[in-house]
Amino acid sequence: MYKIIKKQGKIVEAYRLGEDNVLFKNLQKENKLLDLHNGKYEVFSQEAVNSESGHGQVAEKGDWIRLDSAGYPYPCTDEWFKENMRHIEGDKYEQIPKPLMAWDCTQHMCQEIFFLIEKKGLKIDENSQQKYYSAMLWGNPEAAAKNAVIVFYDISYDQDGMIVDAEYNFVERGEFNKTYNII
């Protein structure tokens, strides 16, 4: 696995779901955000669109969305946002750089990927370049191309070194290269 860190100075736009915002109206017009009118939203990230499921990642009022460099929204919980983002000004935030782990298909299979396959629903389709990775993430089927990267936001181990939980997502390769450094 790679050890990675967000590039210094990476500033993103972020918005809290449930607050009135012109961006939300624009995202809704672009079919990138759907208000389910029950305090929940479907957020159509690049990977959600790529899955062709017709559904987005499920987020709730009070959660946040961040925009990637291509203008796609990505949800994150309020708790994660408060722990990992620093307000700059207006709608601009900087992610506090923290070392993370990441994996791509050029590396050997490792216990973390086996765990995702066995316990977290990760599927790897050797016959598909565009939907090589797929899984249910944020309550929605997601898919990513073979050159995408799996980024681990948290991995929990027990006292014997066995994985007990992992939080992860797919990151499109171009976005990964713009956003992360391998350390």
Could you report the per-residue pLDDT of 147-180, keeping only the tens digit for each?
Answer: 999 999 999 999 999 999 999 999 999 999 988 9
Give the chain's length.
183
Report how far residue 102's alpha carbon sits from residue 128's, in angstroms, rounded to the nearest whole number: 21
Identify whether 174 is part of a domain: yes
Give yes or no for residue 68 having a pLDDT over 90: no
Report how far residue 96's alpha carbon sits from residue 7's, in angstroms, rounded to the nearest whole number: 10
Q: Which of 45, 72, 95 is the last residue of a domain?
A: 95
Mean pLDDT (whole number) for 127-133: 96
Phi-psi region of 39 (alpha: psi -120 to 50; beta: other; left: phi over 0): left
Compare 106 and 51 and report the one with higher pLDDT: 106
DSSP 8-state secondary structure symbol assigned to residue 76 = E
Measured on CA atoms in the order 183, 1, 161, 98, is the torsion positive or negative? positive
Tell me if 141 sits within 8 A of 53, measured CB to CB: yes
Q: Are 118 and 140 found together in one domain? A: yes
Q: Which of 95, 114, 143 is the last residue of a domain?
A: 95
Identify whether 1 is part of a domain: no
Name the domain count of the chain: 2
- 83, two tokens: 């722990």
Give yes or no for residue 96 having a pLDDT over 90: no
Report how far residue 98's alpha carbon sits from residue 102's, in angstroms, rounded to the nearest whole number: 13
For 112, the domain range is 99-182
Tell me if 150 sits within 8 A of 133, measured CB to CB: yes
Render pLDDT for 139-149 as a digit per residue (tens, 0 to 9). 888 999 999 99
